[in-house]
Every structure is written in structure tokens, then in C-alpha cells.
């Protein structure tokens, strides 16, 4: 799952782990969190930005590394 900046990746991971449906649903509805599209995946391959990730099984949350 892709996490847009300026969301805090750790806060999102915590909300997913705690099954905080209100927060996660709001982020999904706003497009701040979502499936990595084919377009986004190609962009990441082409630009090779610094990323960081958190595993909250069965999800892997990925975000651009801020200030990297």
C-alpha cells in the first residue's frame, strides 16, 4: 500500500495494526493511502527514490523517505 506524504508512515501502520477503520477508511477515500498502481510502480522504477516501508501483515506500507 502506498502512503502519501505528509502522512506519517508509522501512524498509518499503527492505525492499520489496530484496525482503526475510521482513520484508514478516511485515508483510502482521500487517496492518501492505496494500492500501488502500475503507473506509480513504473514511476518508482524510473526515478529510484529513497523509500521506507513497514510490514503490517498482510500489508506492506511504502512511502517516499522524507528529507532523504
- Model confidence over 2-45: pLDDT tens digits? 999 999 999 999 999 999 999 999 999 999 999 999 999 999 99
Is the pLDDT assigned to residue 47 strictly greater than 60? yes
Alpha-carbon separation of residue 68 from 34, 52, 58 (angstroms)? 22, 10, 27
Is the pLDDT assigned to residue 60 strictly greater than 60? yes
Q: Report yes or no: 34 and 28 within 8 Å, Cβ to Cβ.
A: yes
Per-residue confidence band for 66, with pLDDT thresholds at 50, 70 and 90: confident
Amino acid at each position: 500500500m502506498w502512503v502519501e506524504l505528509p502522512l506519517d508512515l508509522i501512524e498509518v501502520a499503527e492505525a492499520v495494526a489496530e484496525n482503526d477503520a475510521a482513520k484508514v477508511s478516511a485515508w483510502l477515500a482521500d487517496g492518501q493511502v492505496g494500492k500501488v498502481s502500475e503507473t506509480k510502480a513504473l514511476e518508482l522504477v524510473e526515478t529510484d527514490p529513497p523509500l521506507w516501508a513497514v510490514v503490517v501483515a498482510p500489508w506492506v506500507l511504502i512511502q517516499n523517505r522524507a528529507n532523504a
